[in-house]
């Protein structure tokens, strides 16, 4: 594969039928990542043709292994910074391409920022050329270290433009601006999802985010690394709920940003204790320095999503964590580490 998009010839596409009556051709960038792989799976299950484009920076081909032989699924290894050469019809684009874990997006901050700006411009150009509706995976990080709680869409945020998180936070803010401009002034159908911390099966064990870290540490009886005093809060959404929200937003007529997340708010200490209880692990809690600019609190106001999309999350944290623990217990590197105990 030379990296450029090629027409999908397996779509049964009939351009004369309205959008909601026919199988769609859908591009999912970042589709081999944690959230993207679940989204690809759902879209295929609903009968659509899916082109998954990913540079495998933080994603894994194993995440879409179950789809690779599906006739309606195509995998393309490509960076969204490179020109996307599409020759066929395209109905929808979900842009999920971007490392999401702080240690990973900070590894090459310029690439992260370019992914959110130049990469997004490439995708917006593709949407304009094909007439596809396009959704951006934005983030609660656009609110930075928020001074209000919960955070509603009208809140403009408190973001450091020059700290270690800026490449991601400011990149995602710039991406929202680009989406808004192309929607307001270039006639594109844009959707903007402000996603709050999401977790579930297929997070990489090496991802470095808190849920995967704590579960892998507990399962392998390593120390649980609590950054700072552990009293900072996050609100965790199970991945299936998020995917349902993304699809509802894409199907809606809502072009303003919409928060998608689970409003249940927990301290990192509470999360650690829940993981320890559920795994029955003897791991110790140890404190590590709080990363620079780590937000102290985060909780979504999801009134807009409820009103405009009829969406609300359904999976409580304890249940989602149990499912995620079961997944991680089967990850080869966790299995090996447990055998060596
Ligand atoms: P992830 O790191 O598992 O997935 C991101 C995917 O994008 C990976 O497969 C990676 O290889 C790919 N990618 C990165 N840069 C790329 C590039 N330049 N070109 C092509 N592919 C590229 O992270 P995730 O948790 O699945 O997040 C998916 C999206 O949702 C991201 O855009 C992220 O910013 C957003 N988001 C996620 C969360 C969350 O808690 N999971 C919260 C807010 C926003
Ligand atoms: N965190 C932690 N231990 C870890 C990883 C993260 O205490 O091993 C904390 C981190 O400092 C932050 C919260 O957990 O306060 C969520 O971190 P994550 O990287 O998952 O996402 P963020 O919301 O910060 O982007």
Does the active-site annotation cover 143? no
Q: Do the bridges between strand 49-54 and strand 73-77 make them parallel or antiparallel, or are there none, so unpaired?
A: parallel
Q: Is residue 212 part of a domain?
A: no
pLDDT of residue 86: 79
Q: Is residue 281 part of a domain?
A: no
Q: Is residue 324 part of a domain?
A: no
Low-confidence stretches of the chain (pLDDT < 70) are 1-21
pLDDT of residue 293: 97
CATH number, position 192: 3.40.50.720
Q: Whole-model pTM?
A: 0.95
Rounded to whole angstroms, what are the CA distances from 97 to 123, 136, 175, 205, 289? Answer: 10, 9, 12, 19, 29
Domain span at 185: 25-201+238-263+294-315
pLDDT of residue 290: 98
State which of 167, 196, 209, 220 you would mutate to test the pocket of ligand 2, scoring each by most atoms of that ligand within 8 A of its C-beta.
209
Q: Which residues does a 6 A CB cutoff place in the pocket of ligand 2?
A: 101-102, 197, 209-210, 213, 225-227, 232, 234, 268, 290-291, 294
Of 105, 168, 199, 238, the active-site residue reads 168
Cβ of 239 closer than 6 Å to ligand 1, yes or no, is no
pLDDT of residue 92: 98
Q: Is residue 151 part of a domain?
A: yes
Q: Is residue 326 part of a domain?
A: no
Q: Is residue 31 part of a domain?
A: yes
pLDDT of residue 132: 98
Q: How many CB atoms lie within 10 A of CB 323?
A: 15
Q: Kindly calculate the radius of gyration of the chain based on its CA atoms and give it in whole angstroms.
A: 20
Q: Is residue 219 part of a domain?
A: no
pLDDT of residue 9: 42
Residues 151, 140: contact at Cβ < 8 Å?
A: yes
> Which ligand sits nearest to residue 142's alpha carbon?
1
Cβ of 96 closer than 6 Å to ligand 1, yes or no, is yes
**ipTM here:** 0.99
Q: Is residue 53 part of a domain?
A: yes
Structural domain tally of the chain? 1
């Amino acid at each position: 594969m030379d990296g450029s998009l090629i027409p999908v010839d397996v779509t049964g596409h009939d351009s004369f039928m309205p959008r909601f009556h026919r199988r769609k051709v859908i591009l999912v960038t970042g589709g081999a990542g944690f959230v993207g792989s679940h989204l690809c799976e759902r879209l295929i299950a609903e009968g659509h043709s899916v082109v998954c484009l990913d540079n495998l920076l933080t994603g894994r081909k194993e995440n879409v292994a179950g789809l690779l032989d599906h006739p309606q699924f195509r995998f393309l290894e490509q960076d969204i910074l490179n020109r996307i050469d599409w020759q066929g019809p395209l109905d929808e684009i979900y842009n999920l391409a971007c490392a999401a874990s702080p240690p990973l997006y900070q590894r090459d901050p310029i690439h992260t920022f370019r992914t959110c700006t130049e990469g997004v411009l490439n995708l917006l150009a593709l949407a304009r050329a094909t007439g596809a509706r396009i959704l951006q995976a934005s983030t609660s990080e656009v609110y930075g270290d928020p001074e209000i709680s919960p955070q509603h869409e009208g809140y403009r945020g408190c973001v450091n433009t020059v700290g270690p998180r800026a490449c991601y936070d400011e990149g995602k803010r710039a991406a929202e601006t680009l989406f808004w401009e192309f929607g307001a002034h270039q006639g594109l159908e844009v959707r903007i999802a402000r996603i709050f911390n999401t977790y579930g099966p297929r997070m990489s064990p090496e991802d470095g985010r808190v849920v995967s870290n704590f579960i892998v540490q507990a399962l392998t009886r390593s120390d649980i690394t609590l950054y700072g005093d552990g009293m900072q809060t996050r609100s965790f959404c199970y991945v299936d709920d998020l995917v349902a929200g993304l699809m509802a937003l894409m199907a809606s007529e809502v072009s303003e940003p919409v928060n998608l997340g689970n409003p249940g708010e927990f301290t990192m200490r509470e999360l650690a204790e829940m993981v320890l209880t559920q795994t029955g692990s003897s791991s110790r809690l140890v404190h590590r320095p709080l990363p620079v600019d780590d937000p102290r609190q985060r909780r979504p106001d999801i009134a807009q999503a409820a009103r405009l999309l009829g969406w609300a999350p359904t999976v409580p944290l304890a249940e989602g964590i149990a499912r995620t623990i079961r997944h991680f217990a089967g990850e080869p590197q966790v299995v090996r580490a447990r055998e060596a105990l």
